[in-house]
Structure 1
């Protein structure tokens, strides 16, 4: 009988015996979306922090980049084959992983979602998810940006409209979709649905002819730096642009890269706000190129995912955890409550 099955059979009595279920022998596989961005390195730090605290072994893996769905499926299948006590998964594409998820469920391996989680997974397969409320986080970015450009938005007319760019990494991952749509929906609500035309990518397109405010959504065909920078550059070059938003580190970096040859961004130029952190983002913030950003707490995402996995293995009831989001800018980025959430 496998250890995890023995644990389930013994139940509460085992917990009373040792305080945890053979914690030193507990092995948890964490399958992330990749290592392309520094965000995932910070998530890994959180998983190791939990591993040390709960005295468990954690194996952190992910594909080379966030467009390599097939490679992530291979990592998930390899993890299942080792018979871990639990698996934490941030799915690039749930549909591509349904057979693997079902296999883990049939094997009795509890699964915990993190970051974007595992949307539309089979019922009962995912015990809980540790993630940011990405819709609310996107809304926070919209609210803060609107405060900075309110005068220009209020002065816009049918004959002289203003444009706000929205750059997203892609249109599949739930976390990216939610914080992109969360931004768009919140901005439309703040300004008024009759005054905003959402243009660009078909995923959010809601054209309203004659609207004084245009939200233009740009999404690259592939998750490649050069493609994203080209999309951002095309929007930055438009004469009626007053602001632009990037919905994750990748998209924010694309905006910063595009600006290198255009010099469009700044507090007295086009206002740029972003999401997440990383060296390029923080350097742009300090230089005044980026006016603000929303940060998740990537360390807490990794920590909570492993904590939930440990509790699930121990037979405890687990529930989703909102790991939070904060607004930061040049003025508060070094405050202890903010800096702990940032990474380079």
Structure 2
């Protein structure tokens, strides 16, 4: 079996240089790095990460707890996390908490017991047990997509990475109001999530900016999933008068809303305008094409890795919350001509 010394001889460098390339402990000139990597490939050298973890107390692994199976939105975030972790030489252990607080606590403990160096977690609507566990065990953690209000003196502080939710939702409302809509319904997300509350706040800000009164009946929870959104949309359409425009607060709920509209024989945007928070791969394949807010999903995942690595390098640094901007994708479901993308 080839050794690190064999790699060093083949590449014409020192063993220390090979170690720096493998472990990322010091910058190496690109041509030197490539020579080391070529020698590794040629010799079939395998780095003993287990032995290194015993020496450094680091496993160079990151635990990721997101509901990627039950929520397709997290798939792109997962891709961003994986790519950024791999680039930094970290492996990824993934668990799906299914947005269930009890299960969330269990999977995070399992990841912790596997000695990950740190964790990236998209918290549930009730993360109290999760926060208590992470704080008690001082696990380096970045909260992803959904933020935790941990400003109380008794609560630990955590780094957080998410998209801006309030202003983009405000923009959707004012856009629809500018088209003449006065009754704009909102299919809101799961109660308790920061994304839900922030998007509802943005909706209210949009109404106020357009000089429209807030009617509580026009906000119905779709519980962040398709079936819930179908029921919520049906409830909104049963109002007298019914809304002339509809906003959905995530991509899964957009599907449920479209299903409810189809079952009632309503056309978009002829009978009702529709805008959604969360763009997705097939949004421009619908007829009409969907006007949407696009979140920088992959960048959210990649940024979470960078923030976590910063935390590992400086454990005592102040916690920070990073918010990334969204983009307004103007298509035709809102009822006006397509104009392309405007960030």
Q: TM-score range by the shorter chain?
A: 0.7 to 0.9
The aligned runs of 1:237-316 (5 Å cut-off) are: 237-238=238-239, 239-279=241-281, 281-284=283-286, 287-288=287-288, 290=290, 292-315=291-314
Q: Provide the C-alpha distance between the structure 2 equivalents of 1:267 and 1:307, rounded to a whole number of angstroms.
A: 42
2:145 to 97, 112, 115: 115
Q: Provide the C-alpha distance between the structure 2 equivalents of 1:181 and 1:282, rounded to a whole number of angstroms.
A: 27
1:169-206 Cα shifts (integer Å, max 9, x gaps): 221111122112211x22222232xx513222xxxxxx
Q: Which residue in the other structure is 2:6 paired with? A: none
Q: Provide the C-alpha distance between the structure 2 equivalents of 1:19 and 1:130, rounded to a whole number of angstroms.
A: 27
Matched-pair contact (CA < 8 Å) for 1:259–1:265: yes
Superposed displacement of residue 235, structure 1: 1.6
Q: Which residue in the other structure is 1:85 paired with? A: 117
Would the alpha carbon gap of residues 18 and 125 (structure 1) be closer, same or farther in structure 2, given more than 3 Å must change?
farther
Superposed displacement of residue 279, structure 1: 5.0
Superposed displacement of residue 135, structure 1: 1.5
The aligned runs of 1:1-344 (5 Å cut-off) are: 18=26, 25-64=59-98, 66=99, 68-97=100-129, 100-120=130-150, 125-147=156-178, 149-150=179-180, 152-153=181-182, 163-183=183-203, 185-192=204-211, 195-200=212-217, 216-220=218-222, 225-238=226-239, 239-279=241-281, 281-284=283-286, 287-288=287-288, 290=290, 292-315=291-314, 317=317, 319-330=320-331, 331=338
Q: Provide the C-alpha distance between the structure 2 equivalents of 1:118 and 1:86, rounded to a whole number of angstroms.
A: 18
Superposed displacement of residue 63, structure 1: 2.6
Q: Provide the C-alpha distance between the structure 2 equivalents of 1:27 and 1:121, rounded to a whole number of angstroms.
A: 29
Would the alpha carbon gap of residues 165 and 267 (structure 1) be closer, same or farther in structure 2, given more than 3 Å must change?
same
Superposed displacement of residue 19, structure 1: 5.5
User: TM (normalized to structure 2)?
Assistant: 0.73
Matched-pair contact (CA < 8 Å) for 1:110–1:126: no
Q: Kindly name which structure, 1 or 2, has the bigger radius of gyration based on alpha carbons.
A: 2
The structure whose RCO (Cα within 8 Å, separation 6+) is larger is 1
Would the alpha carbon gap of residues 103 and 267 (structure 1) be closer, same or farther in structure 2, given more than 3 Å must change?
closer
Q: Provide the C-alpha distance between the structure 1 equivalents of 2:265 and 2:76, rounded to a whole number of angstroms.
A: 30
Superposed displacement of residue 82, structure 1: 2.2
Q: How many residues align?
A: 285
Matched-pair contact (CA < 8 Å) for 2:150–2:156: no
SS in 1 for 2:192: coil
1:262-308 Cα shifts (integer Å, max 9, x gaps): 23242333111001133564433xx1163x11111111111111111
1:195-219 Cα shifts (integer Å, max 9, x gaps): 513222xxxxxxxxxxxxxxx0111
Q: Provide the C-alpha distance between the structure 1 equivalents of 2:188 and 2:69, rounded to a whole number of angstroms.
A: 18
Q: Provide the C-alpha distance between the structure 2 equivalents of 1:225 and 1:260, rounded to a whole number of angstroms.
A: 14
1:216-247 Cα shifts (integer Å, max 9, x gaps): 01114x66533320221232354542101011
In structure 1, the gaps of 5 or more residues are: 1-14, 154-162, 201-215, 339-344
The root-mean-square deviation of aligned C-alpha atoms, in Å, is 3.1
Would the alpha carbon gap of residues 19 and 314 (structure 1) be closer, same or farther in structure 2, given more than 3 Å must change?
farther
